[in-house]
Structure 1
């Protein structure tokens, strides 16, 4: 018997992914029914005309007349004209119409039957992918190639069917056709086809940039010696390179990485300098054994193979989504992408439990559990510190993220076990997902509810592995300095988008980034500032707070509709060619700033809100 939450999740999946996927059958089903109906009407009309002619033909004998009547009564007209020698039975226009019906029916049937076949094949591949990483890679590769070809064919076929429908629905039922409708549908179909073709052949940027420093073997021999010992216990080769950074995670990968200005290939290990300081030697052993276990299980090898397929799949989905009339095909493809995500997460979960198990065998359950608690607690506290600093509504002289973490982490760790939803927290990772903290603790034989969890979390780290990296303190300080400067600069860039200035301080921040813009055209001076727009022909300025809509018409005029005021226009043709785009960009940039600030004030700074919202 299934659990209620499982039934709900299945129902949610059906509503979100499966039912929309069935829309792929909508256009071909409508086309099949409609063109069979229209062809049948043409058949009846042709049959009646032929029978009338046979009965009026006095040159026929009774037997010939009877045979002819039987033939035209029992064999559809659309089939008779396909028999060699019967081409002259209908006019060239009627022959063309019948050819249209015949191919529309064929395309519709191909689309429907093909969709059913691809559903069965893809479903089989998804189920098979749950068995192992190798089968997952092979099944995903097969499915990707089948689905992208099928998706492209469906977009082409359904575009043709839509174009045919745009003519025949009005021509048959209303006895008239609408050229404008046909042109619009034709353009939409071409746009969808072009978007799909572009997404299929677009060259993708698979570069992965990692912030950090590569630790050479001869630069930190103690690190590499200890790492070799861990690898020997896990039964795997040492990584090709170790990258030390300040991100709040550890990870391994076989994808190509860009560190600084140099590309690195092969097996890479990323270690967090900041986290190594928080861990004791055995906890760090457990973490690194966990990461090396991913190498021994070929987890990174299959991730490297699968990742490009997923990137191409997602890019293809984006093309289908942007294609407009290709949306039914998008929903169909998206359903199988979601199913594969379930498969990927399930095997990823199994990989993590395997790596945790190996790590506990190399060290101990307590060491692995203590490492998990400290890493997740540190990551949670770092997020909190960065949010608190970022929410400050003043220009920062220094971000001081690392200093805030160092000064407050011990106190935070003392209360971390009472954090709401702590059991659902996960370690961060740039490539894979991880099981929840509660599940991983149980898997290594420990419990979050145990008093020992708080003891493990409160034990200070000795930073043994941090000390094995020569010059670690300097490396960490330099990286934090660069990171905090980027953090401070980005914080300063966002400040003007938070204020509807009420003080001189806030006004100065806004004006620094959004000074008054003045452009002169044939109709006089145009002034744009943080409050609104002034234009010489207007009786009064248009305040951003009063604008209800802003649209460009086909005469090159920006039309503003304001609350309680007459429409106001800016005729771009009255400005120099070089200034027209400046007007558009200034209006868009300054009005967007106002809308962002309004949104911030209403939802972030509304009465009763807190900084944690």
Structure 2
């Protein structure tokens, strides 16, 4: 279960995505203005020198002088030297400078014009993608390839422009150049280029793991027989496999999935054992008809095609973000990604409304509405139970998530419709987003505020489909046990990061995960525990609660500054394995900072609740 994502206003969307995207023009525009200016300056200097020489040349007639002055006044030197007859008028150094200006201007114009063209092309593709799933896939595929090549070219061009600016800005305005600045900019440009190249060619492993059990046809013939009836009503073929799990959702996909040690391809239906127990047979019919309708509309086909493109796109964005100087290109690409997300969500909503309509026609509006209400209520309650158990600040002997859900769900369902923002809640899904509960109930003809909603929500389920799965109770029990074991283990891992120990129990939890560490050095013993650190030559230990600053200097010394302004140094060269010292200090101090932040959050939450 998840809440609907925030809908950006037009102004909010522009501030968040479109305005940052315009940063792609910053470096080329600055470069264009600068190189035009500096080229003009050099042209003016050359013109004044040549005109002076012409006037002083006594060998020329008045007519020749007039013609020469007209030529050099009308045509700048930067253009004249491109003609073979005038190429030798400047030195090799001057020719190189002019070539630098010329290419700086060309690259800047290419970057600016290319950005405008790609922006328009991308906008056309985004608008076209709203028409249908097929057009959406084609437009996304085309724009992805164009944007990928454009982004790589922009990183290269803007890296070259920055490198050129790092020399010419100081050389022109201050008559000097800074080798360190040039080297740093060059290195940053190379890092950005390397990051982009890596993101383009790196092979991605997109394995989707699903927790559950594949239900074979001969193992549960009643399930497959009923499912065949649903498919006949919807007008689609049967799924290739059915996976039964305990996640709080139902979904279909044609992406390759890994279940246990085996991979599955083709059309997959995932059913939730825990939810099937809560639904009536007719409500489960509606849910499964909804899922099969996605097959009939080829929704899963296009999701399978589009998903790898989005993964590649997001990975490429990550490479641009990590490139540093490629951030302007990142914001440009991210703006288009956000626009496509709007398109994807709009068509996703259309697919869900279509599947709801087909399911309603195959069953009834009440069945579809009742299923939606129960699924979202169950998902909401499960999240609430898990959060309450996870927040317990003690070692759990067991994490009885399923038991607490079973014992309390009926009472929770009775008050669910009074939950704040209940109308905006959505069913969860591993691949797609869904319209809000209010919109979906309105579409099937059973408004959320109607009196029937509470009646449908409170009606106990008969678990008819649950009973059609052979050994369902054992399967569910085993999966819950494995899940709760993982839940408890993770909870125990997080406990030491919550406490600034005040009781013996809290201290025992922290010390178990963070026992005292002793590292022997040439000058004595370094001791680190959950509370702080001490060294043989120090006057007193340093408590993490008193530590204000910790930095390593050029001489491989850790410099600690305590609240009492007492500077303390630790020479890492005196330890046989300096990296172990660094890792130990980071690990124990990070635990303290995490616990401090957690306690402040808890205190703030308690205060807010009280107010």
> TM exceeds 0.5?
yes
Q: How does 1:202-241 map to 2 (within 5 A)?
A: 202-241=202-241
Q: Secondary structure at the match of 2:242?
A: strand
User: Cα distance 1:449–1:325, how it changes in 2: closer, same or farther (>3 A)?
Assistant: same
Deviates more, 1:188-197 or 1:89-98: 188-197
User: Cα distance 1:319–1:519, how it changes in 2: closer, same or farther (>3 A)?
Assistant: same
2:579 aligned residue: 581
2:464 and 2:609 mapped to 1: Cα distance? 37
1:487 and 1:550 mapped to 2: Cα distance? 35
Alignment match of 2:593 (pick from 586, 592, 595): 595
2:27 and 2:580 mapped to 1: Cα distance? 44
The reply to whether residue 558 of structure 1 matches residue 596 of structure 2 is: no
1:390 aligned residue: 390
1:252 aligned residue: 252
1:609 and 1:264 mapped to 2: Cα distance? 50
Query: Is contact 1:388–1:611 with CA below 8 Å preserved after alignment?
Result: no
2:333 aligned residue: 333
The CA deviation string for residues 137-162 of structure 1, in whole angstroms up to 9 with x for no partner, is 00000110000110111111001001
Q: How does 1:1-150 map to 2 (within 5 A)?
A: 9-150=9-150
1:473 and 1:381 mapped to 2: Cα distance? 21
1:179 and 1:367 mapped to 2: Cα distance? 74
1:303 and 1:217 mapped to 2: Cα distance? 26
Deviates more, 1:484-493 or 1:562-571: 562-571
C-alpha RMSD of the superposition: 1.4
1:165 and 1:141 mapped to 2: Cα distance? 36
The CA deviation string for residues 503-559 of structure 1, in whole angstroms up to 9 with x for no partner, is 111100100000000001011000000000101121111111111222222221222
1:393 and 1:152 mapped to 2: Cα distance? 50
1:570 and 1:87 mapped to 2: Cα distance? 64
2:496 aligned residue: 496
1:227 and 1:605 mapped to 2: Cα distance? 52
The CA deviation string for residues 202-250 of structure 1, in whole angstroms up to 9 with x for no partner, is 1111100000000011111111111111011111110111000000000
User: Cα distance 1:319–1:226, how it changes in 2: closer, same or farther (>3 A)?
Assistant: same
2:396 and 2:345 mapped to 1: Cα distance? 41
Query: Is contact 1:500–1:597 with CA below 8 Å preserved after alignment?
Result: yes
The CA deviation string for residues 154-175 of structure 1, in whole angstroms up to 9 with x for no partner, is 1110010011111111111111
Question: Size of the alignment, in residue pairs?
Answer: 606
For normalisation by structure 1, the TM-score amounts to 0.97
Q: Secondary structure at the match of 2:426?
A: coil
1:86: how far off? 1.9
The reply to whether residue 422 of structure 1 matches residue 459 of structure 2 is: no
User: Cα distance 1:607–1:354, how it changes in 2: closer, same or farther (>3 A)?
Assistant: closer
Query: Is contact 1:198–1:319 with CA below 8 Å preserved after alignment?
Result: yes
1:612: how far off? 12
1:269 aligned residue: 269
1:607: how far off? 7.2
1:608 aligned residue: 606
1:61: how far off? 2.2
Query: Is contact 1:286–1:362 with CA below 8 Å preserved after alignment?
Result: yes
1:610: how far off? 7.8
2:518 aligned residue: 518
The reply to whether residue 171 of structure 1 matches residue 171 of structure 2 is: yes
Deviates more, 1:513-522 or 1:179-188: 179-188
The reply to whether residue 201 of structure 1 matches residue 201 of structure 2 is: yes
2:390 and 2:253 mapped to 1: Cα distance? 31
The reply to whether residue 158 of structure 1 matches residue 168 of structure 2 is: no
Query: Is contact 1:240–1:266 with CA below 8 Å preserved after alignment?
Result: yes
2:3 aligned residue: none
Query: Is contact 1:35–1:101 with CA below 8 Å preserved after alignment?
Result: yes
1:612 and 1:222 mapped to 2: Cα distance? 54
1:408 and 1:183 mapped to 2: Cα distance? 65
1:3 aligned residue: none
2:108 and 2:315 mapped to 1: Cα distance? 27
The CA deviation string for residues 87-144 of structure 1, in whole angstroms up to 9 with x for no partner, is 2110000000000000000000000000000110000000000000000000000110
2:150 and 2:123 mapped to 1: Cα distance? 15
User: Cα distance 1:421–1:7, how it changes in 2: closer, same or farther (>3 A)?
Assistant: closer
User: Cα distance 1:581–1:182, how it changes in 2: closer, same or farther (>3 A)?
Assistant: same
1:8: how far off? 7.0
1:343 aligned residue: 343
1:305 and 1:39 mapped to 2: Cα distance? 50
1:7: how far off? 11
Deviates more, 1:61-70 or 1:464-473: 61-70
Deviates more, 1:154-163 or 1:535-544: 535-544
Deviates more, 1:548-557 or 1:39-48: 548-557
1:161 and 1:52 mapped to 2: Cα distance? 35
Q: Secondary structure at the match of 1:501?
A: coil
Query: Is contact 1:391–1:611 with CA below 8 Å preserved after alignment?
Result: no
Q: How does 1:468-479 map to 2 (within 5 A)?
A: 468-479=468-479
1:565: how far off? 2.7
1:604: how far off? 1.6
Q: Secondary structure at the match of 1:608?
A: helix
Q: How does 1:446-485 map to 2 (within 5 A)?
A: 446-485=446-485
Q: Secondary structure at the match of 1:462?
A: coil
1:581: how far off? 1.7
The CA deviation string for residues 72-92 of structure 1, in whole angstroms up to 9 with x for no partner, is 111101101000132211000
Unaligned ranges ≥5, structure 2: 1-5
Q: Secondary structure at the match of 1:20?
A: helix
Query: Is contact 1:129–1:137 with CA below 8 Å preserved after alignment?
Result: yes
User: Cα distance 1:329–1:607, how it changes in 2: closer, same or farther (>3 A)?
Assistant: closer
1:9 and 1:611 mapped to 2: Cα distance? 31
1:609: how far off? 4.5
User: Cα distance 1:87–1:349, how it changes in 2: closer, same or farther (>3 A)?
Assistant: same
User: Cα distance 1:8–1:435, how it changes in 2: closer, same or farther (>3 A)?
Assistant: closer
Deviates more, 1:424-433 or 1:599-608: 599-608
Unaligned ranges ≥5, structure 1: 1-5
1:359: how far off? 0.3
The CA deviation string for residues 429-484 of structure 1, in whole angstroms up to 9 with x for no partner, is 00000000000000000011111111101111111111111000000000000000
1:321 and 1:433 mapped to 2: Cα distance? 26
Q: Secondary structure at the match of 2:9?
A: helix
Q: Secondary structure at the match of 1:247?
A: coil
